[in-house]
């Protein structure tokens, strides 16, 4: 049986749409039972798919059946409450529904005039987020600054660098230098490559015992580059590094930037969300001197990928760096200068209505609701860290500032690595690793939407049981 190849009618959409929403709700309920890390072998999913598309349309039920049979077994379940890998990439009911509405409307928000609501809702929600995280007022849109939603922190860092290069005078990017700590995210180096900087333009500044950037080392590196004829363009300070959650001293870094007239970008992709809780706002100390800032609601704020909030203190260099106005985009609103055209704040022209999902999330939870959940994740991580400290066989690699616990077995790297493999193979939890000071470290990132105390307890038990089994091996 095929469908007739016609468009889905509104009634069919209603029927299938209900089925899909039920399917997602069932997935939410059963995801905890599924093996967290996919057991799929390379090529297995492809082999289960036909090599050519269907000539005639297929019934919707058949498509859904393949979701269960082919797709789900090939998934690593990021939404499992037992997922502690990489970083949280949590989502929530209101976010998924906001995303659905965005797809249903299908508007392009490249210009204010292509959908005024798409721009103005985004501006308003990003101003809300300034209050929500206690960010500096200069990032609000009612002054020279403002915020925009990017697809990712990587794009935000690239846009910051393009704005910084513009402000530096638009000279030869191959003579310009970029700075970040040796623990900074790879997106800094990628941005420099894309923006046309020399491949060796990024200076990886030394970190201290807590893996945070050493501002004196930064100052020395910048001064040496200036002596050698380079133009320092941008420093990226990381608030919550990917490896260990280290927090660079933004205030001291800002002083170095001011002395050398260098753009300061703050990358808080993973940890910025903690600012919703007043007791964690120390995290943003010094950000008031930053030229730009970004964090990802798509990591730890219950908003599905993609959603990065990017702020600038002065939008002029950003827009100047990215604005090109061809005839076919000319319109009265743009020419009047009364409106924001977000196409000038990002790399692509087209843009989705991403503010909807963030608006749904903030309104659904409210400020207090978001606080409660973030606070709980941090509490669970701190409790986990205490268990590690109380166990003579294990040690913390760093004191966890927030919701990421980095630990290792005292018997050494080989044992720690074997424990991770063994624990992940149970399918009942998933953690990832890094190296800090050359030593193998298990990272336990706590921040999934439905992670509760019992999941964290189970993960700790599985790690200890795995260690016992590894050590008992001949």
* Interface contacts to ligand PLP, rule CB under 6 A: 87, 152-154, 185, 187, 238, 240-242, 267, 269-270, 296, 308
CA distances (Å), origin 440, targets 247, 347, 397, 437: 21, 37, 9, 9
Using a 10 angstrom Cβ sphere, with 0-12 exposed, 13-18 middle and 19 or more buried, the burial of residue 47 is: exposed
Cα–Cα–Cα angle for 60, 64, 66, rounded to 5 degrees: 120
**Packing angle of the helix pair 413-425, 453-472 (nearest 10 deg):** 120
Closest contact distance (angstroms) between CB of 118 and ligand PLP is 21
Closest contact distance (angstroms) between CB of 192 and ligand PLP is 14
CA distances (Å), origin 216, targets 223, 249, 282: 11, 11, 21
Name the residue among 278, 232, 253, 274 with its Cα closest to residue 184: 253
Q: Which is nearer to ligand PLP, 114 or 242 (CB)?
A: 242
Q: What is the 3-state secondary structure (H, E, C) of 397-414?
A: CCCCCCCEEEEEECCCHH
CA 58 distance to own-chain centroid: 36
CB 290 within 8 A of CB 314: no
Q: Which is nearer to ligand PLP, 35 or 243 (CB)?
A: 243
Closest contact distance (angstroms) between CB of 282 and ligand PLP is 18
Closest contact distance (angstroms) between CB of 296 and ligand PLP is 5
Closest contact distance (angstroms) between CB of 401 and ligand PLP is 13
- In angstroms, the CA 200 to CA 57 distance is 52
How does DSSP classify residue 9?
P
147 strand-pairing partners: 311
- In angstroms, the CA 188 to CA 170 distance is 19
Closest contact distance (angstroms) between CB of 236 and ligand PLP is 9
Closest contact distance (angstroms) between CB of 151 and ligand PLP is 7
Closest contact distance (angstroms) between CB of 336 and ligand PLP is 34
Q: Which is nearer to ligand PLP, 242 or 273 (CB)?
A: 242
CA distances (Å), origin 384, targets 86, 425, 444, 469: 17, 21, 9, 21
SS3 content of the chain, % helix, strand, coil (to 5): 50, 15, 35
339 strand-pairing partners: none
Closest contact distance (angstroms) between CB of 130 and ligand PLP is 20
- In angstroms, the CA 45 to CA 467 distance is 33
């Amino acid at each position: 049986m095929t469908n007739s190849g016609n468009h889905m009618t509104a009634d069919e959409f209603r029927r299938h749409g209900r089925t899909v929403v039920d399917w997602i709700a069932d997935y939410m309920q059963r995801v905890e039972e599924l093996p967290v890390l996919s057991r799929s072998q390379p090529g297995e999913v492809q082999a289960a798919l036909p090599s050519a598309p269907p000539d005639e349309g297929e019934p919707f039920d058949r498509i859904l059946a393949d979701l269960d049979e082919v797709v789900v077994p090939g998934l690593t379940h990021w939404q499992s409450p037992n997922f502690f890998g990489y970083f949280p990439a949590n989502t929530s009911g209101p976010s998924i529904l906001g995303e659905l509405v965005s797809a249903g409307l299908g508007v392009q928000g490249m210009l204010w005039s292509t959908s005024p609501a798409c721009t103005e809702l985004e501006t308003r929600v990003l101003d809300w987020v300034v209050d929500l995280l206690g960010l500096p007022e200069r990032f609000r849109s009612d002054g020279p600054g403002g915020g925009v939603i990017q697809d990712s922190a990587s794009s935000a860092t690239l846009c910051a660098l393009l704005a910084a290069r513009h402000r530096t005078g638009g000279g030869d990017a191959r003579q310009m230098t970029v700075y970040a700590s040796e623990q900074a995210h790879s997106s800094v180096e990628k941005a420099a490559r894309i923006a046309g900087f020399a491949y060796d333009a990024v200076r990886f500044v030394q970190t201290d015992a807590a893996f945070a950037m050493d501002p004196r080392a930064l100052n020395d590196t910048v001064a040496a580059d200036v002596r050698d004829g380079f133009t320092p363009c941008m420093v990226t300070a990381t608030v919550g590094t990917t490896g260990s959650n280290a927090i660079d001293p933004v205030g001291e870094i800002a002083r170095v930037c001011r002395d050398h007239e260098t753009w300061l970008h703050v990358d808080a992709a993973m940890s910025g969300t903690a600012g919703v809780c007043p007791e964690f706002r120390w995290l943003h100390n010094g950000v008031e001197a930053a030229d730009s800032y970004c964090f990802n609601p798509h990591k730890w704020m219950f908003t599905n990928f993609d959603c990065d909030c990017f702020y600038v203190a002065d939008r002029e260099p950003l827009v100047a760096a990215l604005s090109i106005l061809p005839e076919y985009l000319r319109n009265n609103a743009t020419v009047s200068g009364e409106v924001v055209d977000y196409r000038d704040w990002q790399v692509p022209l087209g843009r989705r209505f991403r503010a909807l999902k963030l608006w749904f999330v903030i309104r659904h939870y409210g400020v207090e609701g978001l606080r409660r959940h973030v606070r709980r994740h941090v509490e669970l991580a701190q409790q986990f860290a205490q268990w590690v400290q109380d166990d003579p066989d294990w040690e913390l690699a760093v004191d966890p500032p927030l919701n990421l616990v980095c630990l290792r077995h005292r018997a050494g790297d080989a044992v720690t690595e074997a424990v991770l493999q063994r624990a992940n193979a149970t399918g009942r939890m998933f953690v990832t690793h890094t190296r800090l000071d050359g030593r193998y470290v298990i990272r336990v990132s706590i921040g999934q939407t439905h992670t509760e105390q019992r999941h964290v307890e189970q993960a700790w038990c599985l790690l200890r049981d795995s260690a016992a089994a590894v050590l008992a091996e001949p």
